[in-house]
């Protein structure tokens, strides 16, 4: 097998592994009844697929127009808060709109994503 064929075979194997993992995750998600554990599984898998060092899950509170921190993970900093850890996240919610001007808060990625839905 030449180098190009080996690279293609390695890519297929990795793709197959990802599909298998997504199927396993789908089965686990459909049977999980604990909200915190379910959200944690989603975040950890979303972090694992691109081999990300960290990830945060926010929930949008329509009444407050804010993103509340639900789960935070960072491998390098050894941070595990929210979710099933039992440890509260000490940060206040992120406001999606400036309370005085009512303009959208595009100053950080999380609120910009929430506002643009992209």
Cβ(66)–Cβ(72) below 8 Å: no
How do the domains of the chain map onto residue ranges?
1-31, 35-116
Contact assessment for residue 59 and residue 70, using Cβ atoms and an 8 Å cutoff:
yes
Tens of pLDDT, residue by residue over 32-67, are 677 788 888 888 888 988 899 999 999 999 999 999
pLDDT level of residue 24 (50, 70, 90 thresholds): confident
pTM check: above 0.85: no
Q: Is the pLDDT confidence value at 17 over 60?
A: yes
User: Given this model, what pLDDT does residue 89 score?
Assistant: 96
Q: Classify residue 80 by burial, with Cβ atoms within 10 Å: 0-12, 13-18, 19+.
A: middle
Question: What pLDDT was estimated at residue 29?
Answer: 67
The secondary structure element, H or E, covering residue 20 is helix 3-31
| Whole-Å CA distances, 106 to 92, 95, 103, 113 | 17, 10, 9, 8
Share of the chain above pLDDT 90, in %: 52
pLDDT confidence band for 23 (50 / 70 / 90): confident
């Amino acid at each position: 097998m030449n180098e190009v064929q080996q690279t293609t075979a390695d890519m297929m194997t990795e793709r197959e592994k990802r599909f298998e993992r997504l199927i396993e995750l789908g089965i686990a998600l459909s049977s999980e009844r604990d909200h915190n554990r379910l959200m944690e599984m989603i975040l950890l898998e979303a972090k694992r697929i691109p081999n990300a060092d960290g990830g945060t899950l926010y929930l949008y509170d329509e009444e407050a127009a804010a993103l509340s921190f639900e789960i935070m993970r960072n491998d390098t900093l050894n941070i595990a808060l929210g979710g099933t850890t039992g440890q509260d996240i000490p940060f206040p919610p992120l406001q999606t709109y400036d309370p005085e001007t009512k303009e959208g808060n595009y100053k950080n990625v999380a609120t910009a994503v929430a506002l643009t839905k992209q």
